[in-house]
């Protein structure tokens, strides 16, 4: 069950920074998840919100700012670790180096992935609505093509998949790069998809963990239709156990190190997560459980 770092190791390190993704790889994450937006000068940057206000020391809408302007901002100081001794900076002090908390371009993140000594999956989410509409997907596929990731050779697969809550965005990717896997993200399940089916050409569903808590049978319905299930955002012990019990195909988490520990991939496993079908047995509540 691959563990994908949501915006990097964003529980420990400021989200969408190079430091957050380097930390996730050091923790052993199988893949990295990022959100992408276009700047005013048509550069793809890894920023979740429409505005930079929450995650930087600046203000403004990403799509109205040029990359040079974004590079003047600090995207790291807003997040302070609860304890310096418990933070990833204590174990990996190099994460604090100059530039590690500046705005991250998708190009730089892809360089990190392709240069890494082990295979790393990439889950790229296109953010919509945006003033640039289909230009987001066009620039994304063009950039992936520069790295040889958009159109894999026959018999090969790209480590990249493109995700979106927008069905239109997913359709654009299918048209521009038919070989790329796409994920339809779901905050709720439309009536027409409750039988486990997905839009034409999409083989991976991305439901929020809140959907599985309420409707755990949805995973079996998706699998019965030949689809896979990648779940976001799975941070709590009981949710990890639920994903194991249901047999989901990938976990997306802000806490990749803690999830890997719960799954026993650090050499230890909680009994409830170690045995398929045992989720919830003797499992602590999310409030009381403390990850190693």
Told to judge if 139 belongs to the known catalytic residues of this protein, a careful annotator would answer: no
d(CA 168, CA 165): 9
Which residue out of 48, 101, 230, 270 is catalytically annotated?
Answer: 48
Do residues 158 and 152 touch, judged by C-beta distance below 8 A? yes
Diameter over CA atoms, the chain: 54
d(CA 146, CA 235): 34
Told to judge if 6 belongs to the known catalytic residues of this protein, a careful annotator would answer: yes
- Report which DSSP code applies to 127: P
Q: Which of 262, 202, 194 is nearest to 28 (CA)?
A: 262
d(CA 126, CA 130): 10
Which residue out of 6, 16, 101, 230 is catalytically annotated?
Answer: 6
Residues 6+ apart with CB under 8 A from 148: none
Convert 230-263 to b/e letters by CB count within 10 Å (16 or more is b): bbbbbbbbbbbbbbbbbebbbbbbbbbbbbbbbb
What ranges make up the beta strands (E) of the chain?
3-6, 31-38, 44-45, 121-126, 160-164, 181-186, 204-207, 228-231, 250-253
d(CA 233, CA 286): 14
Do residues 245 and 220 touch, judged by C-beta distance below 8 A? no
Do residues 1 and 243 touch, judged by C-beta distance below 8 A? yes
Q: For strand 44-45 and strand 31-38, is the pairing parallel, antiparallel, or unpaired?
A: antiparallel
Q: What amino acid positions are annotated as catalytic residues?
A: 6, 48
């Amino acid at each position: 069950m691959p563990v994908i770092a949501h915006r990097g190791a964003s529980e420990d390190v400021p989200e969408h920074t190079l430091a957050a993704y380097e930390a996730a790889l050091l923790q052993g994450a199988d893949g990295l998840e990022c959100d992408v937006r276009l700047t005013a000068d048509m550069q793809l940057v890894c920023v979740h919100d429409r505005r930079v206000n929450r995650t930087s020391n600046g203000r403004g809408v990403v799509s109205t700012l040029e990359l040079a302007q974004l590079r003047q901002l600090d995207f790291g100081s807003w997040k302070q670790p609860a304890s310096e001794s418990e933070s990833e900076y204590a174990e990996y002090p190099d994460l604090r180096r100059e530039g590690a908390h500046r705005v991250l371009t998708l190009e730089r993140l892809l360089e990190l992935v392709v240069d890494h000594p082990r295979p790393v999956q990439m889950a790229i989410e296109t953010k919509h609505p945006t003033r640039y509409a289909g230009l987001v997907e066009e620039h994304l596929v063009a950039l992936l093509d520069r790295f040889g990731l958009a159109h894999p050779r026959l018999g090969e697969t790209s480590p990249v998949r493109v995700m979106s809550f927008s069905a239109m965005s997913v359709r654009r990717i299918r048209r521009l790069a038919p070989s790329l896997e796409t994920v339809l993200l779901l905050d709720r399940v439309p009536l027409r998809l409750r039988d486990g089916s997905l839009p034409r050409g999409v083989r991976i569903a991305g439901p929020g963990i809140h959907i599985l808590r309420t409707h755990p049978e949805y995973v079996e319905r998706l699998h019965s239709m030949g689809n896979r299930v990648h779940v976001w955002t799975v941070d709590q012990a009981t949710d990890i156990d639920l994903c194991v019990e249901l047999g989901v195909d990938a976990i997306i988490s802000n806490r990749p190190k803690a999830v890997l520990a719960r799954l026993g991939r650090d050499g230890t496993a909680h009994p409830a997560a170690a045995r398929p079908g045992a989720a919830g047995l003797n499992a602590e509540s999310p409030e009381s459980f403390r990850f190693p």
